[in-house]
């Protein structure tokens, strides 16, 4: 017999919204399969947040100076200005840095009158990664993005559950090696909108974006010896396989049979 249950991030038992544990109101018994049937995501994630604003460094060949960008919602033009301000707030002496964004090439460029390079700590995820500039390039007067830039923090949210994965009869995976996926939320379905001029010139909204979807083709997970399921954990990952920031809320509906 089919039945539904709902998990609401406001009613989690423990953890944070991107890493939460839920105690079910009623134990799930004799369940042979389970699938995510609908979701409602409240996306209030800053595109510069605690996971990607780690300090990077400007280096003149002899000394490195830390550069930090304030967390917040940025469009392309505002982000270029924030990077420029961050570079010029350092103690390095010389002509001010200029950071621009080209609306034709969709790339960032940083220039100065003296040679410099940019550095970051190994493993850190920084603004340099977001704007497509590789660290530790040879001393130069200018550097540009190596590819077309997308400053959205993530374009997908992977909804996963380790506890349900332990009961799967068949594992699954993606190219970022997540093996417990219940569903994927696509934040940007039309990539053409990414480079719309309004996106470049208008401030990003500070108001939450709500993404709702009822899944037509439910991906059911077959369970082995599920017994009684008393709790479920939910973990949300970004498209690089990292746990999402906490600025997100959700309601998830599951169908069991």
Whether residue 50 is contained in a domain is answered as no
Among 248, 196, 251, smallest CA distance to 43 is for 248
State how many domains the chain has. Answer: 2
Q: Are residues 99 and 170 in the same domain?
A: no
Residue 252 maps to a domain: yes
Tell me, yes or no, whether 51 lies in a domain: no
Q: Domain of 230: which CATH number?
A: 2.60.120
Q: Indicate if 102 and 66 belong to the same structural domain.
A: yes
pTM (predicted TM-score): 0.84
Partners of 34 in the β-ladder: 221, 256
Measured CA to CA, the distance from residue 196 to residue 226 in angstroms comes to 48
Q: Which residue has the tokens 């392309």?
A: 76
Check whether residue 106 and residue 65 sit in a common domain.
yes
Looking at the structure, tell me whether residues 22 and 98 fall in a common domain: no
Residues 229 and 210 in one domain: yes
Question: Are 158 and 41 within one domain?
Answer: yes
92 and 7 in one domain? no
Of 144, 177, 204, the residue at which a domain comes to its end is 144
Q: Among the three residues 83, 111, 144, which one is the final residue of a domain in this structure? A: 144
Last residue of a domain, one of 124, 144, 164: 144
Question: What stretches of 89-175 show up as alpha helix (H) in DSSP?
Answer: 127-130, 162-165
- Tell me the C-alpha to C-alpha distance, in Å, between residue 13 and each of 23, 167, 248: 6, 21, 17
pLDDT value at residue 239: 87
> Taking the mean position of all CA atoms in its chain, how far away is CA 58?
25
Same domain, yes or no: 200 and 181: yes
The SS3 assignment for 169 reads: coil
Mean pLDDT by 10 residues, the chain (257 residues): 91 96 89 92 89 89 92 92 94 84 94 93 88 95 94 91 73 58 78 45 63 90 77 92 90 94
Domain range for 168 is: 3-45+154-256
CB-based contact 39:251 (threshold 8 Å) = yes
Whether 237 and 12 have beta carbons less than 8 Å apart is answered as no
What pLDDT score was predicted for residue 170?
Answer: 56
């Amino acid at each position: 017999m089919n039945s539904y249950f709902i998990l609401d991030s406001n009613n989690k038992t423990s953890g944070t919204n991107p890493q939460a544990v839920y105690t079910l109101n009623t134990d799930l018994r004799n369940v042979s399969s389970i699938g995510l049937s609908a979701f409602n995501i409240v996306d209030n994630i800053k595109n510069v947040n605690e996971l990607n604003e780690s300090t990077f460094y400007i280096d003149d060949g002899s000394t490195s100076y830390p550069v930090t960008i304030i967390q917040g919602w940025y469009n392309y033009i505002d982000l270029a200005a924030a990077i420029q301000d961050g570079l010029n707030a350092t103690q390095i002496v010389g002509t001010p840095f200029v950071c621009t964004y080209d609306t034709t090439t969709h790339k960032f460029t940083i220039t100065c009158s003296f040679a410099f390079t940019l550095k970051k700590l190994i493993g850190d995820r920084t603004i340099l990664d977001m704007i497509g500039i590789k660290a530790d390039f040879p001393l130069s007067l200018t550097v540009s993005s190596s590819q077309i830039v997308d400053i959205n923090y993530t374009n997908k949210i992977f909804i996963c559950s380790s506890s349900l994965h332990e009961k799967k009869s068949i594992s699954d995976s993606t190219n970022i090696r997540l093996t417990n996926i219940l569903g994927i939320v696509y934040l940007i379905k039309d990539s053409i909108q990414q480079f719309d001029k309004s996106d470049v010139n208008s401030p990003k909204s500070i108001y939450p974006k709500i993404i709702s979807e009822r899944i037509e083709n439910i991906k059911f997970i077959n369970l082995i010896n599920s017994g009684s399921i008393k709790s479920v954990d939910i973990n949300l990952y970004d498209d690089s396989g990292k746990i999402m920031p906490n600025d997100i809320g959700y309601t998830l509906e599951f169908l069991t049979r």
